[in-house]
Structure 1
């Protein structure tokens, strides 16, 4: 089990715990407390169509969580506690590649039988400003985003403060100094793809301003010491078009630059096989535009993403090899705030121009509440890398179905099925078919 830390919010098995700064109607530490048990069971299949090792595994995770209220007074204090155990159900050595992102590996390369985590949150609140110190699980910020793509989330250690004291404006700031991957209990330092030396200093600050009821503007700045500095600008606008219709515009822009020792031995960024204007250094501008038309239960989205030629897009993660030791958690865990972070690929390499679209339907409109389905397609062109020239291509088709039981003794029991088909011209990832089947359930005692 990992050493106990103090998270600002916890999601260990697909569900969150932790109050927010917006929740200010406190009655007391005990009166507002909540206790719950959550479970997630997942089947994960990665079929390598190019003849490499396939992966097929099933595991389940069970989480116990206690969420307190805040003490009375000008400054309210609280604590959240959580513990998790994950058990591997099948898929031994033959279908469990070592150093993967689904479940920890044993000494013989097979999956361990079980592993666990435990932690707690110390939190404080003044008016509509809330502070959390310790591990930050499942952050959802443009510059720091955890994904819900495996049995257990990646989590981060540090502190975060969120303020909503100014109406319509949310201010956020924090510092992260460590992370635990999705397939490990062990916290480590931070890095980027290709980094072999840890950084223990990721700082960020930003603002979300709801300028009108239909328009939100965002700005964030983040810095991972000795790797990169990153600025983000965002705009989200929803235009009502009458009964049951709307048109949504979502614009995102990232500007990422080298910081400190980035580019030196140990602090290099490896994207596109190391392709960059200055190899090993972060130098990127990426923008994305999405437009979504909604009519009743139907939703059609079309968009484009452009990655600059000088280097690939960068986001916070962990290095793959540190001090000569392979680190499986470095293979992923953190998402990034772009639609192209798909089931299999991420369409983030230097020069890549990606067109994408998605159709989704909410079956509530025809009398089946809780059922949703979507299909999406992404195609990337003009990818650059070292040794293979440029103008490489890749595409991915993803399908997803979600159903949550609405009534009865299993109310809230959710099922998700996701399938992704990825193909490239051989310059990127191996051709892959990936399937995930997920069952989520949470029961609240108080």
Structure 2
């Protein structure tokens, strides 16, 4: 693990990847359309293992400097986005940093390292409404590729992505990703899936969003992680305005995932999220989900269901146990996926699992308290198949969340988030857990 002091990190100019620059036809130039800002996140993380294992309680802060350029004038415009951050470990409490790199990277003796830093950059070009970016500071939000922002810093990806809006109603995206500096390290590794110990430097994807009408969107994406899996995604969202500050939203998602190349061989095996697989170590899955949200004023009521096929668990891009030639993982763990069941603690993604969930949220701006929101969610999964083929395991989770962002005044934009998750199961690889995260965010733009 590279150690860096705060002064050294602050010397590096900082910047952050922006997926879309100024709209075509409105650009003024490289500097004129640039943005520069400094942001900070301080986070307290508590993971209380109710099964008697090691508890984790740590506090850290991260400071990020950022500049996002505009595009040079001309038929083809060019730009540069660069990012630099430094993270400081404030407190871990003796015995409460379990050397798991789930929140902050570990030093050689297993304790939390004092600090670490990372600098990344993308170069970009734009022609009409098509943008190409190449670098190592991508934070995508696509159905088949998502960056997690659940801990102190965001997960980054390196490679190249092209996005086009040249066709009316369509947003088309394609790219290749070959590495990822994770949420707790300065050093990138190759890509993998849960349980994989061999890396793959070839994750390719293509697809798009089609806005059929202003209230209907269709999606299709294809992704392939060489020697691990191929995945097709189909999505549909529909928003029905009812009137009188009411609406009803339908969100349907369907994934089909199959084995690719060496998947199943030693080093390229998939652990099926701790559950059963018809062909052990191989990807073989179909997962669908349906979510329905009724909104009335500041109230939102969501109900849904996720069904995982019983041939194997759901699969998504991860870094597995890839250690990049080192004897232990270096903080590259941490990933997310495009299903509501990626909860505060659990994933509800094992073979055969049938998960029903509900969430209630309220926006207090409707009663004169702008910036304050709260939500409560409950997930219940059953019919989970274990490694022997049984299908009687269950798990549940209750998540509570409060968010407040100062709307005006000197501290405008200062945000606080409190999240608490309670997870219990009768046969999961995840121990029974109570998890709390308290987060303070602030961003200041100076250009």
What is the rounded CA distance, in whole Å, between the counterparts of 2:33 and 2:197 in structure 1? 45
Aligned to 1:437: 438
Aligned to 2:390: 389
Q: Deviations over 1:396-415 (max 9, x none)?
A: 00000000001111100000
Aligned to 1:169: 170
Aligned to 1:108: 109
Aligned to 2:272: 271
Aligned to 2:124: 123
Task: Report deviation, 1:387.
Answer: 4.0
Task: Report deviation, 1:315.
Answer: 0.3
Q: Deviations over 1:40-66 (max 9, x none)?
A: 000000000111000000000001111
Kindly report which structure 2 residues correspond to 1:16-95, keeping only aligned pairs within 5 A, or say none.
17-18=17-18, 20=20, 23-24=23-24, 25-95=26-96
TM-score by length of 1: 0.94
TM-score by length of 2: 0.94
Deviates more, 1:210-219 or 1:380-389: 380-389
Aligned to 2:285: 284
Task: Give the direction of change, closer, same or farther, for the CA distance of 1:408–1:68 in structure 2 (3 Å limit).
Answer: same
What is the rounded CA distance, in whole Å, between the counterparts of 2:137 and 2:221 in structure 1? 18
3-state DSSP class of the match of 1:399? strand
Aligned to 1:6: none
Root mean square deviation of aligned Cα = 1.7
Aligned to 1:12: none
Instruction: State whether residues 276 and 389 of structure 2, in contact with CA within 8 Å, keep that contact through their aligned partners in structure 1.
Output: no
Unaligned runs of 5+ in 1: 3-14
Instruction: State whether residues 275 and 385 of structure 2, in contact with CA within 8 Å, keep that contact through their aligned partners in structure 1.
Output: no
3-state DSSP class of the match of 1:343? coil
Task: Report deviation, 1:389.
Answer: 2.7
Q: Does 2:251 correspond to 1:254?
A: no
Q: Deviations over 1:181-238 (max 9, x none)?
A: 2111111111101111111100000010000010000000000000000000000000
Deviates more, 1:385-394 or 1:199-208: 385-394
Aligned to 1:135: 136
What is the rounded CA distance, in whole Å, between the counterparts of 2:389 and 2:159 in structure 1? 41
Aligned to 1:207: 208
Aligned to 2:420: 419
Task: Report deviation, 1:324.
Answer: 7.7
Deviates more, 1:68-77 or 1:21-30: 21-30
Kindly report which structure 2 residues correspond to 1:207-246, keeping only aligned pairs within 5 A, or say none.
207-246=208-247
Aligned to 2:6: none
Kindly report which structure 2 residues correspond to 1:293-372, keeping only aligned pairs within 5 A, or say none.
293-322=294-323, 325-329=327-331, 331-332=333-334, 334-372=335-373
Deviates more, 1:145-154 or 1:306-315: 145-154
Deviates more, 1:207-216 or 1:118-127: 118-127
Task: Report deviation, 1:386.
Answer: 1.1
What is the rounded CA distance, in whole Å, between the counterparts of 1:294 and 1:263 in structure 2? 45
What is the rounded CA distance, in whole Å, between the counterparts of 2:110 and 2:327 in structure 1? 15
Instruction: State whether residues 101 and 328 of structure 1, in contact with CA within 8 Å, keep that contact through their aligned partners in structure 2.
Output: no
3-state DSSP class of the match of 1:180? coil
Task: Report deviation, 1:22.
Answer: 6.4
Aligned to 1:98: 99
Task: Give the direction of change, closer, same or farther, for the CA distance of 1:216–1:16 in structure 2 (3 Å limit).
Answer: farther
What is the rounded CA distance, in whole Å, between the counterparts of 2:336 and 2:237 in structure 1? 20
Instruction: State whether residues 196 and 319 of structure 1, in contact with CA within 8 Å, keep that contact through their aligned partners in structure 2.
Output: yes
Task: Give the direction of change, closer, same or farther, for the CA distance of 1:119–1:324 in structure 2 (3 Å limit).
Answer: closer
Q: Does 2:390 correspond to 1:401?
A: no
Task: Report deviation, 1:137.
Answer: 2.8
Task: Report deviation, 1:99.
Answer: 2.2
